Amino acid sequence: MNHKHVKRPIQNIIFRVLACILILAIGIFSMNSLANLKKPPVKAKNKEYALRVEAIRTQPTDVPVVITGYGEVHALKVVPISPEVSGIIFEVNPRVDAGEIIPAGETLFRIDTRNYDAAVKEARAGEVQWENTIKRLEKQFAIDQQRLLTLQRNRELAGLEFRRLRDLYKKNKVGTRSGVEKAEQAFNAAMDQVDQLNKALALYPIQIKEALSSLASARARLSVSVVNLDRCTVTADFDARVKSVSIKQGQYVAPGQQVLTLADDSILEICIALDSRDARQWLLPNIILNKNRAI
């Protein structure tokens, strides 16, 4: 009895598994059959439709915009004037007064030029001195080169004389030892003169180069002195209106000290503070126009 009861549950499990597999197979087959019976949708065709529009010709027009405000008129170009050299004010233009107009190129004031004249003369004298020094060195160099040829010939003659007297004294006993020694001394002196002159000739190019450097320095000092002399006279660079004055004749001024203020009133500007309502009213048409263009 127990053996029969064990076989029945196994048979029931197998039957249930086979039934599930059969049900799944029937479902899959039914789904495939229904999918094959379904027809695909018809492709829709996109058509272009013409839109009716109305074109209007536009003409540009000027729209006056009036904005009221208050501001102060300023010159666009305002230049403070300061001397570039120091000294005593020697002369002041009588028209240099607040509100006066000074034409371009007219003198504003002059500084005492005596010290600067002396500096120019001193620098020019230094330039001439070094130019003469260079000429002297070049001329002396040429003279010493010619003199070297003479000394070299004297050395050769002294050497020949010394060797002749020495040979006569040694071989033939002609002459005296003191004569030979004097000839040797003359030969040595001639050799020393040639050596000294060669050393001097070697130094000439260096001396000329140093003199040229000193000449360049003297010319630079002369250039600065001439510029400083020109700076003693201050002129107006443009047609200017005198805005402020703080200078008098006999006053001592230093470089960078502001003494005048000039303004070019040919071009003026006015800084105006606008009311926000006026600004919005003026800007609103432009904003709408820009939006319409973007659309």
List the domain boundaries for the chain: 80-262
Environment class of 294 (CB within 10 Å of its CB; exposed 0-12, middle 13-18, buried 19+): exposed
Asked if residues 162 and 183 have their Cβ atoms less than 8 Å apart, the reply is: yes
Q: Span 134-153, mean pLDDT?
A: 93
* Buried residues in 8-47 as b, exposed as e (16+ CB within 10 A): eeeeeeeeeeeeeeeeeeeeeeeeeeeeeeeeeeeeeeee
CATH class, 80-262 region? mainly alpha
Residues contacting residue 41 through CB under 8 Å, at least 6 positions apart? none
Instruction: Output the average pLDDT for the chain.
Output: 84
Rounded to an integer, the average pLDDT of 29-36 is: 73
**Average pLDDT value for residue range 229-248:** 92
Q: List the structure tokens of 262.
A: 């000039």
Position 295 scores a pLDDT of 43
Task: Tell me the pLDDT band of 39, cut-offs 50, 70 and 90.
Answer: low
Can you give the pLDDT at residue 285?
A: 53
Are the beta carbons of 264 and 77 closer than 8 angstroms? Answer: yes
Which of 85, 103, 87 shows the shortest CA–CA distance to 95?
103
Q: Which residue has the higher pLDDT, 107 or 281?
A: 107
What is the pLDDT at residue 8? 61
pTM reported for the whole predicted model: 0.60
Identify which of 83, 104, 124, 130 has the alpha carbon closest to the alpha carbon of residue 255: 83
pLDDT at position 52:
80
Alpha carbons 122 and 239: distance in angstroms, whole number: 37
**Rounded Cα gap, residues 45 and 196, in angstroms:** 117
